Amino acid sequence: MAERMTTDAPRPRPAAEPRLPTLGEEITRPGHLACPGCAVPLLARTFLKIAGPRTVFCVPACCFAVIDGPFPYSSAGVPFVHCAFETAAVTAAGVKAGLRARGQGDILVVAWAGDGGTFDIGIQALSGAAERNDDILYVCYDNEAYMNTGIQRSGSTPNGAWTTTTPGGKQGRKKNLGMIMAAHRIPYFATVSPGYYNDMVAKMRRAISTKGFRMLHALSSCPPGWKMAEEHSLTSTRLAVDTRIFPLYEVDDGRFRVTVNPPQRPVSEYLRLQGRFAQLGAAGIEAQQRAADEDWAALRARCERHGNVND
Amino acid sequence: MTTSEKLLTGNEAAAWGAARAGAEVVAAYPITPQTTIIETLASLVHRGISKAEYIAVESEHSAMAACIAAAHTGARAFTATSSQGLALMHELMHWAAAARLPVVLANVNRAMAPGWSIWTDQNDSLSQRDTGWIQIYCVDNQEVVDSVIQAFALAARTSLPVMVVLDAFVLSHTAEAVHIPEEEEVRPLIPEWNAPWKIDIDRPAALGSLVPPAEYEKMRKKLCDAHAQAALVIEDLAATWRKRFGRGAGLIESYRAEGAETILVTSATIASTARVVIDELRDKGVPAGLVRVRVFRPFPVAALRGALAGAKRVVVLDRNCSYGASGIFYQELRAALCGVPGAPVVHGYIAGMGGRDVTPLTVRAALGRAMEGEAPVPESTWLSE
């Protein structure tokens, strides 16, 4: 179901967008508290339409913990278990074990955490659950900084990005989560972007129906944190893919496959949309282009080794 | 040893207690001197004696997180730790209690580093004093198995997490004859936990979300009130045990304390050493007795006031220290007796830190110094000095 481009040239606007997939019933209820343009409600709502009501969310300290609503409200529409910052993965594992012990092992248990809770403080519990191949689905919605506490840099913040703790722009690149998880040999890992909706839906379906530890790494646009107009939320997540800054791929039992072959737009189109990269000069943008090109080549080489290149 | 008794170390007793109580999820991470608890449980699960889901987590922090999560589903959750491991759990110790979840934890008392020590003292468990956990300190291995089983019942009846504490090596690695109750004897005593905050797929709700100050304070008062309720449940379970098995203490245990002028107050295995000293003194006609504090939280204020009424002096022997203050049981006891008309003079002594042996000589020294008229000091007196 993945969108696939046929050329590396700038992509002409297609005459008609691909048909949207048919999803299940609406689970999410009205009343979420997300900022305008936040990708999280779109991600969670779409996910639950596929997963259905027999789902439990385990959510550590992060934007989603606030978005769901304060006591006694909850907009998720499924049990929403708040947990300590560094415990998303093991909380999901514990809920799954408890449900299994109680004869409810069919329930889908999801850890849903931000990049801080995944790349940084939660990586130990994440690594443990992945190594044990616990039967849970981990969704990292990656807005590339500690947005809930007011835009501080994380291990996922991209090189050069402004945050309140990197006022001159972050020095150093974000961790490669896909490589970290692939090294754990989990059954399924995929990157998703709300800007490529059908690809995202296909991967959510795949992750939900897979057994064992699986992970979706979602680029999650954050207009206030990225210093960007709200209406650019989806455009930015699409451009992140098209510029090959956030390639869409999956790792299926160790085999890499690019699922969307992007048109290779210059990285400047993505960077210039966001105020957090405003201080990057021509040399900075050139360096980002080189890094994106190198990463793309490395990803392609990995896919080729697995015979998974479709141009 | 009767046919239903086995020769068990304290750690094996803790594991058998969890299995007999029907632990459904066990989260396991090794640390000396606790490791043989989770090893025994691994073996019991492997042999099908326990049906628990066994999760070999990657840290104690994750062990407690897994127990919290499992307890949220209504499953009986158990883990064991010691010292540094318990300290690592600290954030989640608050979480388990404030979420009002019936998690059961066995903690083997071990001194905190540095310097490295694997031997017993109580500063690890007492550092969890204000988290909201029930704390039960065991005197022997029979009490370990009984307390772990009771802990599951107590937790389910009060929606409070329960820590069962045993001394490193003195109990953890020392074998005694222990009667292990049968499943059918104890399972009916452990009710299903069905609090409204259990995960219910048909009644989706957020658990643990942001609360405004007034609601938060209300929740914390309920947590505090639950401890008062727990004191009654502990005595009720003790009565059941005495009736069913002919053994077992409740909040406190008095030993030859009737009519005693001097009463030693202590906890855990020091109490069994102290019994010998009390017997010697009584044989010599010295009116001395012993009160063992079995349950530290809820602190048994009323029971202690009753047991100590009429004594001239109380001698508290602590295997712990709140640095900058005094021995911790000493502090707590003085607070409990504050304002009681005719309350005894209270002396505080500290001994046995880092596993230093507490022998009859040590206990005699504490009692002797107090009875010879040494003035009590607010900081506790270190017996080694």
pLDDT reading at B148 higher than 80: yes
Q: What is the pLDDT of residues B26-44, one digit of tens each?
A: 999 999 999 999 999 999 9
The predicted model gives B320-325 an average pLDDT of 98
Q: Given this model, what pLDDT does residue A307 score?
A: 77
User: Which DSSP letter does residue B192 get?
Assistant: P
Q: Which CB contacts under 8 angstroms, 24+ apart, belong to A161-165?
A: A161/A276, A161/A277, A162/A227, A162/A275, A162/A276, A162/A277, A162/A278, A162/A279, A163/A225, A163/A276
Both tokens of residue B108? 């083997």
Residues of A in contact with B211 (CB under 8 A): 70-71
- Which residues of chain A have a Cβ shorter than 8 Å from any chain B Cβ? 53-54, 56, 58, 65-66, 68-74, 76-84, 86-87, 90-95, 97-102, 104, 107, 124-125, 127-128, 131-132, 134
Q: Given this model, what pLDDT does residue B147 score?
A: 98
User: Which DSSP letter does residue B129 get?
Assistant: G
Residues 6+ apart with CB under 8 A from B18: B26, B41, B50, B52, B78, B104, B106, B148, B152
Query: Which of B36, B4, B37, B35 has the alpha carbon at shortest distance from B19?
Result: B37
Q: Given this model, what pLDDT does residue A3 score?
A: 43
Q: Which domain holds residue A150?
A: 40-305
Q: Given this model, what pLDDT does residue A14 score?
A: 53
Average pLDDT, chain A: 94
Distances (CA, A) of B72 to A56, B67, B205, B216: 11, 8, 12, 20
Q: Given this model, what pLDDT does residue A6 score?
A: 40
Q: Do residues A233 and A39 touch, judged by C-beta distance below 8 A?
A: yes
User: If you classify domain B256-382 with CATH, what class do you get?
Assistant: alpha beta
Task: Report phi then psi at A223, rounded to 5.
Answer: -50, -45
Q: Given this model, what pLDDT does residue B236 score?
A: 98
The predicted model gives A54-74 an average pLDDT of 97
Q: Given this model, what pLDDT does residue A15 score?
A: 52
Q: Given this model, what pLDDT does residue A4 score?
A: 41
Q: Given this model, what pLDDT does residue B385 score?
A: 72
Does the bond joining A36 to the residue before it have cis omega, within 30 degrees of 0? no
CA distance B263 to B370: 10
CA distance B48 to B4: 20
Q: Is there a contact between A87 and B92 if contact means CB atoms under 8 Å apart?
A: yes
* Rg of chain B over all Cα atoms, to the nearest angstrom: 20
pLDDT reading at A85 higher than 90: yes
Task: Report phi then psi at B58, rounded to 5.
Answer: -100, 5
Query: In terms of pLDDT, which residue wins out, A14 or A245?
Result: A245
Q: Do residues B307 and B256 touch, judged by C-beta distance below 8 A?
A: no
Is residue A30 situated within a structural domain? no
Residues of B (239-268) whose Cβ lies below 8 Å from A: none
Query: In terms of pLDDT, which residue wins out, B1 or B77?
Result: B77
Is residue A8 situated within a structural domain? no
Q: Given this model, what pLDDT does residue A1 score?
A: 37
User: Which of A48, A55, A78, A81 to mutate against chain B (most B CBs within 10 Å)?
Assistant: A81
Helical H segments across chain B, by residue range: 10-21, 35-46, 60-72, 83-88, 90-98, 123-126, 141-158, 183-186, 213-245, 270-283, 301-308, 328-337, 360-371
pLDDT reading at B2 higher than 60: no
The predicted model gives B358-373 an average pLDDT of 97
The enclosing domain of A130 has a CATH number of: 3.40.50.970
Residue A21 confidence class, pLDDT cut points 50, 70, 90:
confident
CA distance A216 to A39: 14
User: Which DSSP letter does residue A166 get?
Assistant: B
Place of tokens 């900075």: A284
The predicted model gives B44-68 an average pLDDT of 98
B214 part of contact set with chain A, CB < 8 Å = no
- Alpha-carbon B80 to chain mean position: 13
CA distance A183 to B56: 20
Q: What is the pLDDT of residues A188-210, one digit of tens each?
A: 999 999 999 999 999 999 999 99
**Nearest CB neighbour to A94, from listed B52, B67, B74:** B67
Q: Given this model, what pLDDT does residue A16 score?
A: 57
Query: Which of A214, A230, A2, A249 has the alpha carbon at shortest distance from A126?
Result: A214
pLDDT reading at B235 higher than 50: yes
CATH for B3-245?
A: 3.40.50.970
Distances (CA, A) of A205 to A51, A52, A130, B320: 8, 11, 20, 56
Hey, which residues does B346 pair with through a beta bridge?
B314
The nearest CA of chain A is from the CA of B108 a distance in Å of 23
What's the complex ipTM? 0.97
Q: Do residues B56 and A133 touch, judged by C-beta distance below 8 A?
A: no
**Nearest CB neighbour to A93, from listed B66, B92, B212:** B66
Q: What is the pLDDT of residues A122-166, one digit of tens each?
A: 999 999 999 999 999 999 999 999 999 999 999 999 999 999 999
Handedness of CA A162, A178, A291, A40 (dihedral sign): negative
Domain boundaries, chain B: 3-245, 256-382
Q: Is there a contact between B204 and A77 if contact means CB atoms under 8 Å apart?
A: yes
Question: For chain A, what's the residue count?
Answer: 311
Intra-chain end-to-end CA distance of chain A, in Å = 15
**Nearest CB neighbour to B73, from listed A69, A80, A98:** A98
Q: Do residues B15 and B28 touch, judged by C-beta distance below 8 A?
A: no
Q: Given this model, what pLDDT does residue A7 score?
A: 42
Q: Given this model, what pLDDT does residue A191 score?
A: 98
The secondary element (H helix, E strand) that includes residue B77 is: strand B77-82
Q: Given this model, what pLDDT does residue A311 score?
A: 55
CB count, 10 Å around CB of B176? 17
Is residue A135 situated within a structural domain? yes
The predicted model gives B148-161 an average pLDDT of 98
Average pLDDT, chain B: 97
User: Which DSSP letter does residue A163 get?
Assistant: B
**Nearest CB neighbour to A128, from listed B57, B67, B69:** B57
Q: What is the pLDDT of residues A254-289, one digit of tens each?
A: 999 999 999 999 999 999 999 999 999 999 999 999
What percent of chain B has pLDDT above 70? 99
Task: Report phi then psi at A279, rounded to 5.
Answer: -80, -5
The predicted model gives B360-367 an average pLDDT of 98
Query: In terms of pLDDT, which residue wins out, A7 or A79?
Result: A79
Q: Given this model, what pLDDT does residue B4 score?
A: 75
